[in-house]
Structure 1
Amino acid sequence: MDLEAVRTYVAVAEAGQFQKAATDLAITQQAVSKRIAGLERDLGVRLFARTPRGAEPTVDGQAFLPHARELLRAADRAAASVRPGARPLRVDVINSRGAASRLMRAFHRTHPGVELDIVMLLDIDSAVAAIRSGTVDASFRAVGAPGRPLPEDLTATRVLDEPLHLLTGPGHALAAARAVPLAELAGHRIWMPGLLPGSEWAAYYEALAGEFGLTIESTGPNFGSDVLLDTIADTPALATFMGEDTRLVWPTGHGLRRVPVTDPVPVYPHSLLHHRDNPHPALPALHAHLAAATAAAPTPAGAWTPSWTPARTPSRTPAG
């Protein structure tokens, strides 16, 4: 059913005249008559009876009028639901305890008027598909892994380089260290269950292990962070990597230690991905916030990232 014809029918019914409806709609009287005639053909009934004063709805026209108004209200609601700024900004943060989640919490505190939906997608393929389909507006990811180019309609801005820490139990050989040079981790078993093959996380740690001769094990089922912490606390031979901004709580009796890694500092490169043509008005505000926040946390001197990591450039606020 032609919604413009329905809108024209309601205008005539309310105005009582074809000419008055034409003026209200800023179209010609001929266009009004043509739309009404087409709607009557579609419905198979006459909607108006001509009178000396203009036009009055027939019995069928009176029956149709409340439904026509509801059709128009429904159409207006549908259009408003996708109008830029009328819906929350949807951002993928991967998980609730990492750096991306912290950045978005800070953005929410400084921009309380921006309505947010936070989602957590497992892998970059899902994130890219969601961005391209419009399911999400932006996603925090590491980009540039070999064989994983971004589609041309997406853009990525490197917004945060997060240093890695070594997490150990109290009995680990490095538990008392104030910091540990990256080269000294060779020969130590670093356990990271849940590294998804083909993910940007797996590509990052594969590059790190290959360049510095590290032993990174991802064997065994991934039962989540609680079991990982229990195992690290109880197993002196194992350690794991954890981002500096990852926030986990563990029992006091675990005695876990977070040891900064140095010489060089390995950093995980977080980028913000979004569609080049995304019109959501909150995206420029998010970019500006991230530019200010990450300028206060520059990349450590001599930091290490994989060779495939795009260069970090000043964040550019998208037009909008």
Structure 2
Amino acid sequence: MDLDLAQVRAFVLAAEELHFGHAAEELSISQQALSKRIARLESRLGMRLLDRGGQGVRLTEAGRRFLEPARQALAAADVAVATVLDAHRPLRIDVWGHLYAPMRTVAQVATGEPRLEPGHGRDLPSVIAGLLHGDIDAAFGRVHAPLPAGLTHRLVRLEPVDVILSVDHPLADAPEIRPSQLRDSVLWTPGALHRLDFLHRFAESFGIADRAEGTNLGLDHFLADLAADARRFSLLPADVPLPHGPAIRSVPLVRPTPLYAWSLLWRGDDGHPLLRALVSAFVAEAERNRWLEYDPVRDWLPEPHPPPGSGRSV
């Protein structure tokens, strides 16, 4: 049986998003066109792959069996196209949010195909400019609205964040800290707070009135300045390795635990043949490591609503 890869791709995106609107937007087609592609695929296979009803979109048993082989078929097709269209140029991907070490996540995906050429953007606006001008093919970091038309992003990781503070801070020896306990402390930021969306929203949400801004000269310098003041604190992902030297503590934040949202960002009409393979690699890694687990009772996100398709196992 010969399968239409456009139909297979429509099914895979709908199955991953569990939302026809989001899948259609990612493919830059209408929901009606997406539905027709999936219906034709189901007709060719002779069985229903997705249930559409009042409870939303759900995979059937046949759809669950078909999903992973379908992903593999698309990845193989993308690689085949790449060998013909652009065999020598790697996919250029910039990261931003360097204190939060985005390369840790990219490195887990970049061990094989697709071939990546990593770079560094200063911040989200500079990365957006690079994408729109065609200087890079994709980017990885924390995405927040508004985004210009023509760009697509996909959430790939929700990472728990710890509080870091001086060993002389009153809470330094606590086994865990609630965000509300930081109201009498000073939020130390590596730059202007209004440009650091995650930290800004954390401060506003949990009533952190006292803030102090430094200059982003790298993690070592940032932590040394933090350690110099017993009232200061900041936030870092829980598994970011801290350098030896500065007298600081890293303490888990609980009730709720802040989650830092990492996304892959690209131009909707980007023609790099390895882009789909990169997205598939991130999706597979997220599923393998349970990167998108989220419990609104236990966790905190700056976004007003939980990301589509995420859910924490209990």
Taking structure 1 as the reference length, the TM-score comes to 0.63
- Which of these residues, 270, 282, 286, is aligned with residue 278 of structure 2? 286
Q: Does 1:224 align with 2:218?
A: yes
Letter in 1 for 2:185: H
8 A contact 2:97–2:142 mirrored in 1: no
Q: What is residue 237 of structure 1 aligned with on the other side?
A: 231
Residue 218 of structure 1, CA deviation: 3.7
Residue 196 of structure 1, CA deviation: 6.1
Q: What is residue 144 of structure 1 aligned with on the other side?
A: 144
Deviations 1:256-295 (A, max 9, x none): 2111111111112111110112232322222122112223
Count of residues in Structure 1 that have an aligned counterpart in Structure 2:
225
Letter in 2 for 1:267: L
Deviations 1:154-206 (A, max 9, x none): 11111111221111222111111121111111111121131464x3xx22222
- Which of these residues, 266, 271, 280, is aligned with residue 258 of structure 2? 266
1:33-112 equivalences under 5 Å are 83-94=85-96, 98-109=100-111, 111=112
8 A contact 1:159–1:291 mirrored in 2: yes
1:146-161 equivalences under 5 Å are 149-161=146-158
Partners of 1:170 and 1:142 in 2: CA distance: 29
Identity %: 30
Deviations 1:83-122 (A, max 9, x none): 434311111111556352112111222x1x5332111111
Letter in 1 for 2:211: E
Q: What is residue 249 of structure 1 aligned with on the other side?
A: 243
Deviations 1:13-40 (A, max 9, x none): xxxxxxxxxxxxxxxxxxxxxxxxxxxx
Counterpart secondary structure, 2:110:
helix
Partners of 1:280 and 1:92 in 2: CA distance: 15
- Structure 1 stretches lacking a partner, 5+ long: 1-79, 315-320
8 A contact 2:169–2:231 mirrored in 1: yes
8 A contact 1:166–1:241 mirrored in 2: yes
Letter in 1 for 2:274: A
Partners of 1:178 and 1:92 in 2: CA distance: 36
Q: What is residue 128 of structure 1 aligned with on the other side?
A: 128
Task: Return closer, same or farther for 1:150/1:271 CA change in 2, 3 Å cut-off.
Answer: same
Letter in 2 for 1:288: S
Partners of 2:275 and 2:241 in 1: CA distance: 26
8 A contact 2:114–2:278 mirrored in 1: no
Counterpart secondary structure, 2:202:
helix
8 A contact 1:180–1:261 mirrored in 2: yes
Q: Does 1:192 align with 2:189?
A: yes
8 A contact 2:189–2:214 mirrored in 1: no
Counterpart secondary structure, 2:130:
helix
Deviations 1:97-151 (A, max 9, x none): 6352112111222x1x533211111122211121122211111233333xxx222
Q: Which entry has the higher C-alpha Rg, 1 or 2?
A: 1
Letter in 1 for 2:301: T
Residue 305 of structure 1, CA deviation: 1.4
Partners of 2:239 and 2:282 in 1: CA distance: 15
8 A contact 1:163–1:268 mirrored in 2: yes
8 A contact 2:152–2:267 mirrored in 1: yes
Deviations 1:212-259 (A, max 9, x none): 1013524344443222222333322222211224333222xx342111
Letter in 2 for 1:188: S
- Which of these residues, 161, 164, 170, is aligned with residue 161 of structure 2? 164
Counterpart secondary structure, 1:280:
coil
Q: Does 1:275 align with 2:267?
A: yes
- Which of these residues, 173, 176, 184, is aligned with residue 173 of structure 2? 176
Task: Return closer, same or farther for 1:96/1:156 CA change in 2, 3 Å cut-off.
Answer: same
Task: Return closer, same or farther for 1:142/1:95 CA change in 2, 3 Å cut-off.
Answer: closer
